[in-house]
Structure 1
Amino acid sequence: MLRDIISNDWFTIFLLLGLVCLTLSKYLFAHRFKDFLAVIGNSKYLKIYARDQKFVDGFDALLFFNLIISVSVFAYVSYSTLVNPADFNLNQFFKLLFGIGVLFLIKVLLERLIGSLFEIDELIDAYLFQKTTFKNYSGFLLFPINCVLIYAVSPSKTLIYLVIGLIILVNLVGFITSFKNHQKLLLNNIFYFILYLCALEIGPYLILYKLIKDFNA
């Protein structure tokens, strides 16, 4: 019982950090936050804010921090449910948090580098904005889900798989949206598109899976 309390205390701290990020994003960017909530099935947000994006965007940065925290917490809960039930280990959790954050950042920087090398910065920026938006939306959805999994219900394999399916669906919507917006260009360069998918879309998530699978080693 004491271990459960300690684990929940640490989860509470990290979830509070995520809540602070979400609260600040809503307080500092109230109108944009409202549009962001309706991004699924509505391209208004993507059309309006893609034009005003910056290399370092305060709104996206706050949501990104929540994304890293939410993904890490969910990954830990998923690992404990699906693979190996284990006591909470703060050092291992920080490694997981750091690994996921670094992986996401390196991926974005590599994509921006590719855009610069091939002189398609405008296209890459638009694509990254759309993709980042749906990833951040996934983090937004994971926050209340994590709260439920930690404090309200006992996580089951079925529930974990349902949540994973939901997150995949959200990001699939984002991918389809990006593909539709740049369909002609992508189809004319289908080989490079497939190469990109393997190297920078599928590959990093295989690394993330390996990271989560082995983080208790």
Structure 2
Amino acid sequence: MELRESYINNWATIVIAFCLLLLVIAKWIYKSEFYHLLSAAISNRYIKVSRNENPNHGLRIITVTVYTIGLALWITKLSFTEVQSLLDFKTFLLFLTGLTIFILAKRYFSMMIASLMKFDEILELIEYHRNTYRAVLGILLIIVNLLIYYTFHDSIVAVRLISIVSIFMFVIYNFIILYTYSKSLLQHSFYFILYLCALETAPYLLLYKYIMLSRAY
């Protein structure tokens, strides 16, 4: 049992350390902009000021990468809290691969539909807003993972409570995004409904199905 916990801690520590290293590099390269990005957690000012910049800016790419890795690490722990024997690096890589494909596919599928329905500009703003929040949530996920892998790793109740709070924060941030751009999207009510169904609901149902299949595997 001790060897098993040591193995889990070893690979999880390496993954978390890698995420922290990416954040240190981002802070070192982008300096003040890094702190402005963090301010998006409590204020929309940074998003309003910077929304016309390149969406593929290096800082955003690094922080979204940290978010994706942190999310995969969290889902791995949450999925196999009761079955520690399946909590390994291979399972983590499986979830990370699925999440990466999911995020990229959702992004490009969204762009395709937006182009066909003529609301490209609105979608670009939504995606920029979303990626900014992902950057903030990526840092939150590092804290969450430290708690569930080290501090409360043996407590199923604690892991689930921490996860519920985290999910609640994810829902709030997504609600803020939809509320912020709802007026623009409601000008095209049919497209707005299609957007919610095709791009904001169906992909997450597919992701849930993928996670369930991964658990069975």
- TM-score under structure 2 length normalisation: 0.88
3-state secondary structure, aligned to 2:21: helix
Q: 1:28 to 1:211 in 2, by over 3 A?
A: same
Q: CA deviation at 1:71?
A: 0.8
Structure 2 equivalent of residue 213 of structure 1: 212
3-state secondary structure, aligned to 2:84: coil
Q: CA deviation at 1:48?
A: 1.4
Structure 1 equivalent of residue 72 of structure 2: 72
Structure 2 equivalent of residue 31 of structure 1: 32
Structure 2 equivalent of residue 195 of structure 1: 194
Query: Does structure 2 conserve the Cα–Cα contact (< 8 Å) formed by 1:67 and 1:140?
Result: yes
1:48 aligns with 2:49: yes
2:112 aligned partner, one-letter code? L
Q: CA deviation at 1:24?
A: 1.6
Give the total of aligned pairs: 215
Q: CA deviation at 1:156?
A: 3.5
Q: Could you list the per-position Cα deviations for residues 158-192 of structure 1 after superposition, in whole angstroms to 9, with x for gaps in the alignment?
A: 33343333333333333343334333222232332
Question: Relative to structure 2, which stretch is displaced further, 61-70 or 148-157?
Answer: 148-157
1:127 aligns with 2:148: no
Query: Does structure 2 conserve the Cα–Cα contact (< 8 Å) formed by 1:79 and 1:85?
Result: no
Q: CA deviation at 1:155?
A: 4.9
Structure 2's unaligned 5+ residue stretches are none
Query: Does structure 1 conserve the Cα–Cα contact (< 8 Å) formed by 2:81 and 2:156?
Result: yes
**Percentage of identical aligned residues:** 26
Over the aligned positions, Cα root-mean-square deviation in angstroms equals: 2.0
Q: CA deviation at 1:215?
A: 1.4
Q: Could you list the per-position Cα deviations for residues 26-78 of structure 1 after superposition, in whole angstroms to 9, with x for gaps in the alignment?
A: 11122222122221331111111211133x22111101111111111111110
Q: 1:205 to 1:180 in 2, by over 3 A?
A: closer
3-state secondary structure, aligned to 1:154: coil
